[in-house]
Amino acid sequence: MTLPEKPDRTDEMLRAVGAVAVETGVPVYAVGGAVRDRLLGHPVLEIDFVVAGNADAPAFAETARRRLRGTGYTVFERFGTCSFLVEPYKLEFAGARRESYRPDSRKPEVQPADLSEDLARRDFTVNAMAMGIRKSDFGDLIDPFDGRSDLAGRILRTPLDPLATFSDDPLRILRAARFAGQLGFRIHPDTLAAMRADRERVRIVSQERLSDEILKMLSQPVPSVGLRILQETGVLEIVFPELSALTGVEQRDDFHHKDVFEHTLKVVDNIARMTDKPLLRFLALVHDIGKPQVKRFVEGVGWTFHNHENVGERMLKRVCGRLKLPNEYLKYSRKLTALHMRPIQLIGGDVTDSAVRRLLFQAGEDIEDLMMLCRADITSGNPRRAEKHLKNFDAVTERMREVEEKDKMRAFQSPVRGEEIMELCGIRPGPAVGRLKTAIEEAILDGLIPNEHDAARDYLLKIKDQALADPPVKTENQ
Ligand code: ATP
Ligand code: MG
């Protein structure tokens, strides 16, 4: 049975803003991603509007907010934009503008402009369409660069000369790679060539914008698409050299060493199928970055990467700092990168409880994430081998559960304490006290009585004569 789709209320939202445009006589259009995604039939949650005709965008936005009972009104002075929320939508308003860049600066000079100039400064033709939202022009496209055809052909291409477009704002190079993955589009060959040619320009982009884009790429359902494009255009070498350095295969004797970059992409795609958690996706991306430094060929054994987890952990301090990621990325990815080989060492029959306990303690609340990484790390093309590895991790997980259970029992204490047992039973310190305590604990664990003082005391009074009369029985645990 298919569930009825949630009604998409995007058009209702657009018409509501359109009504305010009619009322105020301001020419307002929806633009960019919302127009693109609406035509593609993708869900829309953020809608950008252009306020054309030199009208005052903040004034229009404020009127619209009042009419639509929007919340969280925010003004971004620097960009001349305002936004507010009408759940579940985020609406953003900007005046039509033109941006010009000087070659030495990434800060554009912004001037008011007409709608077609505003569309021309946008990154890709499919993002450079505006749409009428008033009753009289609802759904009409203003599409000077034929974004419609590129949408149909699933092509990303810049509206103007790609070299100039990327040079003006080189973040667009990363956006192209990200949209290729997000939309499942091809990048036009001329656009792709310009990405490669202009790649050095990404150095002028602020680290915050770059990292934000890298994290957006990681949040895609198949993150490898964008990452591979960055690698192939030489951009990754500039924005994330430690990842780019994972590329390369070597053959020596009969030993083939698999490409760590390709392996990493598979791990990232695997984890993307398991979780949306950004930290875990980032961890999948970086967990092997120590490998190139420790790679050795050992005669008769093959390629080894001894200690790569600890080298990776140390590298992450510098990497996360340079990427200016929030501190939790550093803490989390270092900790779990250092631990990522440990569950493998717990495979097999001769592992002690204390080895299991040590890992449980060190991983703490992140143990499930660590096990998820380990499962995603299985990239063997041989289904039987992959199945075997997964089964091994099932066994490790089960073993962890058992050890935790045992430890819980050990930490467990009868709600009736020794002193009280002696008093109630009229006995002196000795092994009988322990036996009675154990009997109470067993009754609680067996679910005979609740883990409460009064119930335990009543139970003790009921069994004490019998228990004291019986000789102690030796069990396996004693
Ligand atoms: P998504 O929200 O899915 O990332 P989007 O297309 O809405 O996609 P935004 O970053 O929200 O992307 O930007 C909205 C619109 O603004 C884009 O569609 C594009 O027209 C324009 N835009 C955003 N960033 C740039 C940029 N760096 N250069 C040129 N145009 C841009
Ligand atoms: Mg958007």
**What is the Å distance from ligand 1's center to 196 Cα?**
21
CATH number at 214 reads: 1.10.110.30
Asked, for residue 263, whether it belongs to a domain, the answer is no
The preferred substitution site among 36, 48, 100, 212 for testing ligand 1, maximizing ligand atoms within 8 Å of CB, is 48
Q: Do 216 and 107 share a domain, yes or no?
A: no
Q: What is the mean pLDDT of residues 383-403?
A: 89
pTM for this prediction = 0.84
Q: Do 163 and 146 share a domain, yes or no?
A: no
Asked, for residue 477, whether it belongs to a domain, the answer is no
Asked, for residue 264, whether it belongs to a domain, the answer is no
Provide the pLDDT for residue 55. 84
- Tell me the per-residue pLDDT of 306-323, one tens digit each, with 9 for 90 and over: 999 999 999 999 999 999
- Who's near 222: CB < 8 A, 6+ residues apart? 181, 269, 272
Q: Do 170 and 148 share a domain, yes or no?
A: no
- Tell me the per-residue pLDDT of 16-44, one tens digit each, with 9 for 90 and over: 999 999 999 999 999 999 999 999 999 99
Q: What is the mean pLDDT of the chain?
A: 90
471 vs 281: CA distance, rounded Å: 59
65 vs 86: CA distance, rounded Å: 9
Ligand 1-lining residues (CB < 6 angstroms)? 32-33, 46, 48, 122-123, 127-128, 169, 171-172
Provide the pLDDT for residue 29. 97
- Residue 314's identity, in one-letter code, is R
Residue 477 — very low, low, confident or very high, per pLDDT cuts 50/70/90? Answer: very low
444 vs 437: CA distance, rounded Å: 11
- Tell me the per-residue pLDDT of 210-256, one tens digit each, with 9 for 90 and over: 999 999 999 999 999 999 999 999 999 999 999 999 998 676 666 67
Q: Do 10 and 131 share a domain, yes or no?
A: yes
Query: Residue 395 in contact with residue 344, Cβ under 8 Å?
Result: no
Q: Which of 57-61, 186-190, 417-421, 465-469 has the highest mean pLDDT?
A: 186-190
Q: Do 52 and 159 share a domain, yes or no?
A: no
Residue 166 — very low, low, confident or very high, per pLDDT cuts 50/70/90? Answer: very high
**What is the Å distance from ligand 2's center to 33 Cα?**
5
**What is the Å distance from ligand 2's center to 172 Cα?**
14
164 vs 166: CA distance, rounded Å: 5
The domain containing residue 464 runs over which residues? 418-469
Q: Do 306 and 401 share a domain, yes or no?
A: yes
Asked, for residue 476, whether it belongs to a domain, the answer is no
Ligand number nearest to the C-alpha of 49: 1
Q: Do 110 and 206 share a domain, yes or no?
A: no
Q: Do 402 and 461 share a domain, yes or no?
A: no
Q: Do 350 and 281 share a domain, yes or no?
A: yes
Interaxial angle between packed helices 418-425 and 453-469, expressed in degrees from 0 to 180 and rounded to the nearest 10: 60
Asked, for residue 67, whether it belongs to a domain, the answer is yes
Number of domains in the chain: 4
Q: What is the DSSP string of 399-457?
A: HHHHHHHHHHHHH---SS-HHHHHHHHT--SSHHHHHHHHHHHHHHHTTSS-S-HHHHH
Name which of 47-51, 124-128, 244-248 the model is least confident about: 244-248
